Structure 1
Amino acid sequence: MTALLFLAFLAMLLLGVPVAIALGGSSLLYVWAEGALPPLVVLHRMASGVDSFPLLAVPFFIMAGSLMNSAGITERIYSFATALVGWLKGGLGHVNVVGSVIFAGMSGTAVADAGGLGTIEIKAMRDHGYPLPFAVGLTGASATIGPIIPPSLPMVIYGVMANASVGQLFAAGLIPGLVMAATLMGAVAVTAHRRGFDRDAQFRWARLGHTGKRAFLPMMTPVLLVGGMTSGAFTPTEAAIAATFYALFLGAVVYRTLTWRSFLRVTQETIETTAVVLLIVAGASIFGWLITTTRVTEGVAGWVLGITTNKWLVLLLVNLFLLVVGCFLETIAAITILVPVLLPLMIQLGVDPVHFGIIMVLNLMIGLLTPPVGMVLFILARVSGLSFEQTMRACSPFLIPLFICLGLVTYWESMVMWLPVTIYR
């Protein structure tokens, strides 16, 4: 019967059925075939899955990132990043990474970074003579920083599914996100030396001060969020609401670049995206519940530990598994399906749920750059005009620094856990 659950789910995915419907449909088929539970249990569990206070953060983080893009705030961030690091060799490559780090503290999603800031970055790098594949590949890699540095939409979903502190997850992602930026900037420096890329701007204090003044208020967003959460002024869920109202205040009152038409468009996009995310969470909640009640999680743990009980080797196997899953499943769907399966194994091995959350999210962010379902690849292909295959090849060299970061995050637990332990424990 458990095989029926998984086979039905995989068959629906292969037939092109949306993930949310495939999760709920396969669960309903299992309940009907088993006959031990009334089918209304499916609806009840799905409703219970989305009846969660932390999930209120989902629409607000989505809306905050969209408002930042629509209000033209991304251009201010890019100008400041250019003044800050554009004087380095391969300057606009470094600007690409630094801009993504700053924007990551506002949006929490890789898609918003790639579609908003990425449009500006690719055009600027192309206009300055950088090879288009280099610009596209670096933009895709730097966009993956978005959900690692707080705030982070995938971490909110993980926190709900794993019953882990979202605040601790946010704190745990900060240092790994900065390490990702450092390794990507190292890759840019090496490429600039090999290909002879020049500096794209002269360092001037006056320009840095001017662009910093223009970008000061948007850059206060992460300070507002992290400061508010660590001080206890508001919860991570309330932080999402604060970020949305702050972005709305900047766009409508301070800069006056947000029109009614763009606000209505942002609202509509937020509703559509939130509906999709919550449908996936609802479908995955009943799917995960069935996996737990049929003791699949215990079976997986027993099977893996039957191969090896070495913690580091098990983490390697889990990483490889997550990288493969990331090629085929969207991030939210993968988190909601796999957390009930893998988290008990991690706890049994002594891996902190917060640490494992960072490992899982980083793996799935790398999956955004791998075919056939890499969402960032599709967005960059549309933005740059390259084909999907060309975009995939452009991003592949930048997987190397991301894999280095994944290794550090997996096996250097103290690096990940130092900040959440310092702040919360």
Structure 2
Amino acid sequence: MTLSLAFAAALGVITVLAFLGLPMGLSMISGSILYLLLRGQDMGTAAEQFLNGMYSNYIMLAVPLFILAAEFMNSGTMSERLLKWCDAIVGRFRGGLAQVNVLQSIVFAGMSGSAIADAAGSGKMMQYMMTKDGKYTPSFAAALTAVTAVIGPIIPPSIPMVLYALVADTSIGYLFLGGVVPGLLMAGLVMLQILVIARTRNFPVEPPVPLRRLPRMTWEAFPVLMMPVVLMYGIYGGITTPTEAAAVAAFYALLVSMLVYRAVKARDLYQSLLVSGKTTASIGMLIAGALVFNYVVTIENIPRSLSAMLLAWDLNPVTFLVIVNILLLILGCLLEGTTILLVIVPVLVPTAQALGIDMVHFGVVAVVNIMLGLVTPPYGMLLFIMTRISGAPMKAIVADVMPFLLGLIVALFVFTFVPETVLWLPKLFGYTPTALP
């Protein structure tokens, strides 16, 4: 596979601009425009690809709507009530607050679809709860919060899976279902690790919440706990599309925060819209750059050439998936997850299809890889976020993250080599997996 000088120059410009601190989306747009210029093509094609890609994909609307839903939750008291309910359920065990951290991420996952929203929202409260009175070290609390935030987007709804559905032309509904079992298994594994670590480090046992208070706390948290139910029933009951479900999630979060809990004022509403708009603009610019650069990649015929080269190596599906896992884990250390999903994964999809790998299975494996990249040293984004939130040194956080990360990598390879862990639930809802050749 030979690359043209124009494409090599475009890659060079993208790399240099990114290292100089220019946002990745703008870097990709700049490199793509240079490519079109050197090839003598109309540079207005960049704008055309961007507009066609952004405005012809209905599912793209799900991204800002899920972000808005998470912001409405954080601006109200929904996250706080959820944490209190989780504490009542599992807080009574040794290392109970650490178990609460995992449980709240599982429930919060059914509402936001974003690891960053999880860490920046309920993660802040968990950091405070775990470290006050010196119960847990700041580095352990930060590491655990980062790890549990990773699990969130694997359980539906999931913004990364929405983006994968965009580039791989795969059903969002079946992708969401495919992430349920892997996400729950990963959460269970982390909880088992906490049980072991809690005994070796002698973590404290929290005062148990009296059982007589549990019904009242459940009733107070009931509107929060119903949000994932409303979301999933809308999608799988055939009432809403995933995009419409995202709108329902945002409206439901606003309704509960304003009318039920009366915790959102006009100023909070404005702030939520402002933060959501800024986050959406940042992601939108990245998607725009990826759409334009993917057009350049297509002109260069890279996906087909790469697919032909890999098939010529006579790879079997298992070997290919091993290579993909290693590649995505390495790239996760260096690149932002959305960039990998929108630029790297589309190049791998044709080969996966040619090898007969199911696209739902491949999508879940790819998303798990990319999520693990968020906590993989040296450039995992969640590590930087939790360093800022906790004030703990990066070195200490990485040391506490590594046992969890190694366990989750083992789980990743189980999902990779046992497709039924991903496909079992979608098949119950009528999905027909791709048969291996």
TM (normalized to structure 2)? Answer: 0.93
Question: Which residue of structure 1 lines up, in the alignment, with residue 47 of structure 2?
Answer: 43
Q: 8 Å contact 1:100–1:145 — kept in the other structure? A: yes
What residue in structure 2 maps to residue 20 of structure 1? 25
Question: Quick one: distance in 2 between partners of 1:132 and 1:275?
Answer: 32
Deviation per residue, 1:89-116 (Å, 9 max, x gap): 2111111100110111111111111111
Residue in 2 that maps onto 1:31: 36
Aligned: 1:110 with 2:110: no
The superposition leaves residues 180-233 of structure 1 with CA deviations (integer Å, 9 ceiling, x where unpaired) of: 110000110110122222422326322322221111111111100111110110
Checking the alignment, whether the CA contact within 8 Å between 1:291 and 1:340 is kept in structure 2 is no
- Kindly provide the amino acid, as one letter, of the partner of residue 12 in structure 2: L
Aligned-partner Cα distance in 1 for 2:209–2:184: 23
1:412 Cα deviation from its structure 2 partner: 1.4
Between the aligned partners of 2:39 and 2:79, the Cα distance in structure 1 is 53
Alignment coverage as a number of residue pairs: 424
Q: Work out whether residues 9 and 26 of structure 1, in 8 Å CA contact, stay in contact via their aligned partners in 2.
A: yes
Q: Give the drift of 1:292.
A: 2.0
Q: Cα deviation per residue 1:110-147 (whole Å; 9 max; x = unaligned)?
A: 11111111112122122251222221111110011111
Q: Distance in 1 between matches of 2:377 and 2:198?
A: 27
Partners in 2 of 1:10 and 1:422 — Cα distance?
Answer: 45
Contact (CA 8 Å) 1:82, 1:201: kept in 2 or not?
A: no
Matches within 5 A, 1:225-236: 225-236=231-242
> Does structure 1 residue 180 correspond to structure 2 residue 186?
yes
Unaligned runs of 5+ residues in structure 1 are none
In structure 1, the residue matched to 2:298 is 292
* Helix, strand or coil at the partner of 2:154: coil
Task: State the shift of 1:166 in Å.
Answer: 1.0
Give the Cα separation in 2 of the matches to 1:386 and 1:241: 37
How many angstroms apart in 1 are the aligned matches of 2:258 and 2:186?
33
- Structure 1 residue 45: deviation in Å? 0.6
Q: Which residues of 2 match residues 316-395 of structure 1 at below 5 A?
A: 316-395=322-401
Q: Structure 1 residue 361: deviation in Å?
A: 1.1
Number of the residue aligned with 1:82? 87
User: Is it true that 1:259 corresponds to 2:265 in the alignment?
Assistant: yes
CA distance in 1, matches of 2:286, 2:430: 30
Q: How does 1:151-170 map to 2 (within 5 A)?
A: 151-170=157-176
Q: 1:402 aligns with which of 408, 412, 415?
A: 408
The amino acid that maps onto 1:117 is S
Of 170-179 and 129-138, more deviation after overlay is shown by 129-138
Please say if residues 27 and 286 of structure 1, whose CA atoms lie closer than 8 Å, have aligned partners that are also in contact.
yes
- The reply on whether 1:126 has 2:131 as its aligned counterpart is yes
Identical residues among aligned pairs (%): 38
CA distance in 2, matches of 1:260, 1:203: 35
TM-score (norm 1): 0.96
Worse-matched range after superposition: 364-373 or 237-246: 364-373
Which letter maps to 1:86?
G
For structure 2, the 5+ residue unaligned runs are: 432-437
TM-fit CA distance, 1:414: 0.9
CA distance in 1, matches of 2:318, 2:140: 34
Quote the RMSD (CA, aligned, Å).
Answer: 1.5
Report SS of the residue matched to 1:63.
helix
